[in-house]
Amino acid sequence: MTKKDIAVKDRLIFALDVPDCERARALANELGDAVTFYKMGLELMMSGGYFELVDWMLAHGKKVFADLKFFDIPATVGSAVRQLRDRGVNCVTVHGNQSIMEAAVENKGDQLKVLAVTVLTSLDRGDLDDLGFDCDVGELVLSRAKRAFESGCDGVISSGLEVARLREFVDHKLLVVTPGIRPVDNKPEGDQKRVVSVEQAFQNGADHIVVGRPIRDAASPREAAEAIQATIAEQF
């Protein structure tokens, strides 16, 4: 279990994967105080009004995770992070090698946290073969997490399946954010292949979990979020 001093309610990050900012605001209003931390990704970025929504979230006392997965030459990634660092968001994701991560870290300022993507939870062994990675998924996650730590990143994005081993071999200072959470069972769903339950994620050492569809698509999103929050509270 992680020992970081994080407010229990902030350990749940809701993936606000909806097609437009109007729907995002309506869903946030419906969730109310059941969710304090929101992940806003590329779908919302491309819909228009992304930063206006960021400002709205911050004005309502929410934390924002800009899941934009920057991946370009180091200078461009550094410039993108520098543009973002004064927008009030809590963290941003980056892809890539050590020089890309270092450029992000050099430009993040004092408040913005840089999280390195290890291996997307939508990828399995067959996908890695297609991409030309001749290694075990766990080994690749561990290798990238070590490089993220060496680069000065604040944390990593990692499937809950690999967190325990990551904690064993990489410094516990790293923040670990775990997507691919399925509250009811451990069956893959949709585009997520490497998934775990809420309890498994935290028992393996995650600091935050990211939950999307199980909340968004529930008959009552607020009740679904509250149930997950109750499960988290039991772990701490």
Residues labelled as active-site residues = 69
What does the buried/exposed string (b/e) look like for 153-173 if buried means 16 or more CB atoms within 10 Å of the residue's CB? bbbbbbbbbbbebbbeebeee
d(CA 196, CA 168): 19
32: which DSSP letter? G
112: which DSSP letter? P
Under DSSP, is residue 227 helix (H, G, I), strand (E, B) or coil? helix
Give the tokens for residue 175. Answer: 């923040």
Under DSSP, is residue 219 helix (H, G, I), strand (E, B) or coil? coil
Under DSSP, is residue 29 helix (H, G, I), strand (E, B) or coil? helix
Compute CA 224 distance to the chain's CA centroid, rounded to the nearest angstrom: 19
Residue pointed to by tokens 């924002």: 64
d(CA 226, CA 230): 6
